[in-house]
Structure 1
Amino acid sequence: MSIDQKKQLEQQLWNIANTLRGLMDADEFRDYILGFIFYKYLSEKMELNANKILSESGETIKYREINENTQDGIEYLEAIKDETVESLGYFLKPSELFSQIAARGGQIEEATEDNSASESNTDSFILGDLALILRNIEQSTAGTDSEDDFNKLFEDLDLTSTKLGRTEKDKNKVISKILGHLDKIDFELENTESDILGDAYEYLIGQFASGAGKKAGEFYTPQEVSKVLSKIVTTGKTKLRSVYDPTCGSGSLLLRVAKEVQDVAFFYGQERNRTTYNLARMNMILHDVHYSKFDIKKEDTLERPQHLDKRFEAIVANPPFSAQWSANVLFQTDDRFSQYGKLAPGSKADFAFIQHMIYQLDDNGAMAVVMPHGVLFRGGAEGHIRQYLIEDCNYLDAVIGLPANIFYGTSIPTSILVFKKCRENPDDVLFIDASQHFEKVKTQNMLREEHIDKIVSTYRDRKTEEKYSYVAKISEIKENDFNLNIPRYVNTSEADEIIDLTKIAQKIKSIDSSMVEIDKAIAAFCQELNIESPF
């Protein structure tokens, strides 16, 4: 698919999403549109897989042609279900395919001009059957290895919501219209070399984030920031055993890491928001990550961590900035925090997230995390933890300052902290000030490819560049009381212009002489005009 075709697809999907714009908020119609796209994906994947099974068995019949009410049809479905649940993780009957439901819903639009025909056509009423199909998808995984990955996956897709319409007929009409438009789009799932649908899904998530205000930070990290984090943690590697995001949101950051290497063996994530947790699992499956290769958990990472027995080769995260947490005294004996002697304050969990990730970082791993600038210089318990990480552990590898206003929902400048347990350069820390390198697009600042490349190449080459980067010795950081405020190390100020006072004095004298001559000329004119001179 060409770039123009890709953009056309993205615009088509966004236009369909806007069908619901007047009915509900962006973060609400997001769940419907992304949920229906996911249902279409599962359906088309199911049909392709079933047709392949039938073909390899020597059958000439197509999956959607199977009669579910005959003995032969039942036997076909039982055989196909066993293989499909193992390979795909779920199962759909022919009558449950997206295209079948969309076709039934399409009868509504055909009968729009004839209200009586529309009322009497019960086969075009799809709401009840659609709700049942979505439940059946989840239930088809019961007792299998994929059960956790599909459990309550569609719970945010509320087909009974009055926001879809005042009456059942109104709701049915809106949903049928959306399904009909989606059914006309070819996602080209047969093309295994392309991730068209995955890219389109990411595009929609980004579009919803741009209109979601402060809520956007709960589920989305801008792609340009994701690229920086991903390229840093994959430096020098072509494959990863594991990648982890303890605040994974929609999962886009985990998936971005996968684009930087040939293979990621396993994805781990945790997310406490139910809706966003469902979105992350959908995003994984829709990007063709097999259910056996990811483990996304729904829980509060700091209070109830779910993967503490694991150590990860790559960790990326964009935690909520300065979030509150319990800071319960019991955490002083928690292995994640006990060695530091102090807990991060309850009003700011930034360092608690860092400590949690450090604990789960493998010895040969790399970790890149987005943080507010306050973590670089705040004192108290945070200053104590920061000093311990640098002086005692020597885990801090780099500090990267980003421009302000590049995250949705907040305009504050942010930083990326890079940590490694086995550092190639244990005697220094790299500082990069990329805060002035961006392009302003409407009200948002954006990192372009050249900005991203400059950050990443500077990190990888570990070089000092005037007004941009500086390699600071640990001893220098110690002299600054472990304050990591970037301007202490990277001087971006412009030198004051040197003023030559002798030349200024001569210029003043010259001006004074000129004024005397001008005054004389004015006095002469006044005399000729026989008027009083002002001098």
Structure 2
Amino acid sequence: MSDNNKRQLEQQLWNIANTLRGKMDADEFRDYILGFIFYKYLSEKINLYANRILAEDGIKYLDLDEHTAEGRQYLDAIREEALASLGYFLLPSELFSEMARKGNATNQEEGASNFILDELTQVLKHIEQSTMGTESEDDFNKLFEDLDLTSTKLGRTEAAKNDLIAKVLGHLDRIDFKLEDSEADVLGDAYEYLIGQFASGAGKKAGEFYTPQEVSKVLAKLVTTGKTQLKSVYDPTCGSGSLLLRVAKEVKEVSKFYGQELNRTTYNLARMNMILHDVHFQQFDIRQDDTLEHPQHLDQQFEAIVANPPFSANWSASPLHLSDDRFSQYGKLAPASKADFAFVQHMVHHLAENGTMAVVLPHGVLFRGGAEGHIRQYLIEDRNYLDAVIGLPANIFYGTSIPTCILVLKKCREQADSVLFIDASQHFGREKTQNYLRPEDIEKLVATYRERRPEARYSHAASLAEIRENDFNLNIPRYVDTFEAEAAIDLPQLAAALAALETQMHDTDRVVADFCAELGIAKPF
């Protein structure tokens, strides 16, 4: 599909989303529109799958009669294969296109649309229930719980709610998702576009589920340096899962995706995002819980780890954590009011010996003292895990304008005698009130990291001795001098210019005085 057609699809979906905009907040109508797009995707996926199975018999899935013995026999066979291959099952009558048709079919006698809310609610439950007792049960459990079709925000009356939902389904039904084109992830790209659009209008809440695409690209390129395939990639604060999926675009294959997310709604969005990007249910393991307090992937190690944790979040910092393998070796815990280094410690614990991790953090982690300074020194001096420190521009994240940095850590570093510092804070574009990384900014940053090349006022490979001299303070200006000397001033030349100007002023005064004398008026000086 061409870029123009992709943009057209994105705009169509955004226009449909705006059908709900006047009814509710951005994060609320996000859950509805993304949920309905996902339902349409599941419907089209199983319809294509069933049609391939039925092709030998010259039958279409929608032509099967669910009420006959023969129809039920076909459906039982398709159900068994679909659960093993796709992980879920939908009857022909439960497909998105059928619900859209029913909702928008006009009853000539009463002049009203058919009521579908109750049936639609049951269909969404049936999708989840179809997976019970199978390998995909955890991946579909309560997946549609945020689609509350009884909410008064959809309308004050049942008829108003029904009309709105039927209208949205009708608009979506007319869009071709091109699922038969296995080479193009058209819908996946459109879904990512919508998530980004919602994030841009969600203010502070955006940080809960979305990392700007340009930053995701940088993190993904950093952790895949020198790799063409990955056994595993992990995000301990995975949000919508976009960052995990971005890593997959940088290599030929990722065998399995792992993630954990605290927010229930965002956790549902991450699972939908995985499935919608055609990641098989056996290829991802996304869990819902507090990563620091209740880690869900105990004792597992991952080849690539990426994260954009909530900046300076609160956590318990309970003394009990000092006996936790993730924190015990450091002797100190991150402060209760700033969990930044707790996330770093968690990620380091899960990092494989041949792995790379890249994490976005606020600048304070580079220089704050106390327990954070102790942890920072341990990572550098005792373990020598820190590979690079990268300063990003301010105001590139939704909901906060603070400057941020990326820490890259490895357990087996190729350049173990130095830490690369990159100051990319002045390399960005600006759109309205938001800064962003341009393609050339990303290319320069990544190339500098991969080649570890020094560049005046941009990058510097600091020796461990140099870092030690700075008391393990990683503040980037200590290592990358961005000072630009002003051009030297030629004082004799400046004096001569001033003298010439003085003479010119006197000449002008004489001319003005002569004119005033001729006119018989007082001089102005």
Which runs of no fewer than 5 residues in structure 2 stay unpaired? none
Letter in 1 for 2:63: E
SS in 2 for 1:117: coil
Correspondence for 1:198: 188
Equivalent-residue separation in structure 2 for 1:511 and 1:61 (angstroms)? 95
Letter in 1 for 2:83: V
Correspondence for 1:440: 430
Letter in 2 for 1:486: I
- Mapping 1:84-163, distance limit 5 Å: 84-107=82-105, 110=106, 117-119=110-112, 124-163=114-153
SS in 2 for 1:406: coil
Structure 1 pair 206–528 and aligned structure 2 pair: CA distance change class (3 A): closer
Letter in 2 for 1:47: N
Letter in 1 for 2:420: L
Which residue of 66, 69, 88 corresponds with 1:71? Answer: 69
Structure 1 pair 35–517 and aligned structure 2 pair: CA distance change class (3 A): closer
Structure 1 pair 388–523 and aligned structure 2 pair: CA distance change class (3 A): same
1:304-334 per-position Cα deviation (integer Å, ceiling 9, x unaligned): 0000221000000000111111111111111
SS in 2 for 1:465: coil
Equivalent-residue separation in structure 2 for 1:510 and 1:441 (angstroms)? 46
1:486-528 per-position Cα deviation (integer Å, ceiling 9, x unaligned): 1111122221222233444444455555566666666777777
- Cα deviation for residue 444 of structure 1 reads 1.1
Correspondence for 2:384: 394
Correspondence for 2:26: 26
Correspondence for 1:187: 177
Correspondence for 1:82: 80
SS in 2 for 1:187: coil
1:260 maps onto 2:258 in alignment: no
Equivalent-residue separation in structure 1 for 2:127 and 2:168 (angstroms)? 20
1:181-230 per-position Cα deviation (integer Å, ceiling 9, x unaligned): 11111111111111111111111101100110111110001111110000
Equivalent-residue separation in structure 2 for 1:464 and 1:393 (angstroms)? 24
- Mapping 1:372-411, distance limit 5 Å: 372-411=362-401
Equivalent-residue separation in structure 2 for 1:356 and 1:403 (angstroms)? 26
Which residue of 196, 216, 226 corresponds with 1:236? Answer: 226
Letter in 2 for 1:265: S
1:176 maps onto 2:166 in alignment: yes
* Structure 1 stretch displaced more, 508-517 or 133-142: 508-517
Q: Which runs of 4+ in 1 moved over 3 A?
A: 500-535
Letter in 1 for 2:103: G
Letter in 2 for 1:4: N
Which runs of no fewer than 5 residues in structure 1 stay unpaired? none
- Mapping 1:448-463, distance limit 5 Å: 448-463=438-453
1:322-370 per-position Cα deviation (integer Å, ceiling 9, x unaligned): 1111111111111111111111101111001001000100000000111
1:148-178 per-position Cα deviation (integer Å, ceiling 9, x unaligned): 0000000000000000011111111000001
Correspondence for 1:48: 48
Which residue of 361, 367, 380 corresponds with 1:371? Answer: 361
Equivalent-residue separation in structure 2 for 1:368 and 1:456 (angstroms)? 12
Equivalent-residue separation in structure 1 for 2:295 and 2:308 (angstroms)? 17
TM-score, reference length from structure 1? 0.95
Letter in 2 for 1:79: A
1:43-77 per-position Cα deviation (integer Å, ceiling 9, x unaligned): 1111111122223xx32222111111111112111
1:482 maps onto 2:480 in alignment: no
Which residue of 382, 389, 411 corresponds with 1:421? Answer: 411
* Structure 1 stretch displaced more, 140-149 or 468-477: 468-477
Equivalent-residue separation in structure 1 for 2:484 and 2:283 (angstroms)? 51
RMSD: 1.8
Letter in 2 for 1:37: I
SS in 2 for 1:185: coil
SS in 1 for 2:218: helix
Which residue of 57, 60, 68 corresponds with 2:58? Answer: 60
1:501 maps onto 2:472 in alignment: no
Letter in 1 for 2:308: N
- Cα deviation for residue 469 of structure 1 reads 1.0
Structure 1 pair 363–515 and aligned structure 2 pair: CA distance change class (3 A): same
Equivalent-residue separation in structure 2 for 1:66 and 1:533 (angstroms)? 105
Equivalent-residue separation in structure 1 for 2:115 and 2:41 (angstroms)? 22
SS in 2 for 1:20: helix
Equivalent-residue separation in structure 1 for 2:111 and 2:286 (angstroms)? 44
Letter in 1 for 2:358: A
Letter in 1 for 2:23: L
SS in 2 for 1:456: helix
- Cα deviation for residue 532 of structure 1 reads 7.3
Equivalent-residue separation in structure 2 for 1:460 and 1:211 (angstroms)? 35
Letter in 2 for 1:251: G
TM-score, reference length from structure 2? 0.96
Correspondence for 2:210: 220
Equivalent-residue separation in structure 1 for 2:88 and 2:521 (angstroms)? 104
Letter in 2 for 1:24: M
1:164 maps onto 2:154 in alignment: yes
Equivalent-residue separation in structure 1 for 2:11 and 2:501 (angstroms)? 65
Count of residue pairs the alignment pairs up? 525
Structure 1 pair 380–95 and aligned structure 2 pair: CA distance change class (3 A): same
Equivalent-residue separation in structure 2 for 1:159 and 1:532 (angstroms)? 87
1:414-468 per-position Cα deviation (integer Å, ceiling 9, x unaligned): 1111000000000001111111111111111121211111111111111001111
Equivalent-residue separation in structure 2 for 1:379 and 1:252 (angstroms)? 33
Correspondence for 1:12: 12
SS in 2 for 1:241: strand
Letter in 1 for 2:110: A
SS in 1 for 2:111: helix
Percent identity of paired positions between Structure 1 and Structure 2:
71
Correspondence for 2:335: 345
* Structure 1 stretch displaced more, 78-87 or 150-159: 78-87
Equivalent-residue separation in structure 2 for 1:35 and 1:477 (angstroms)? 50
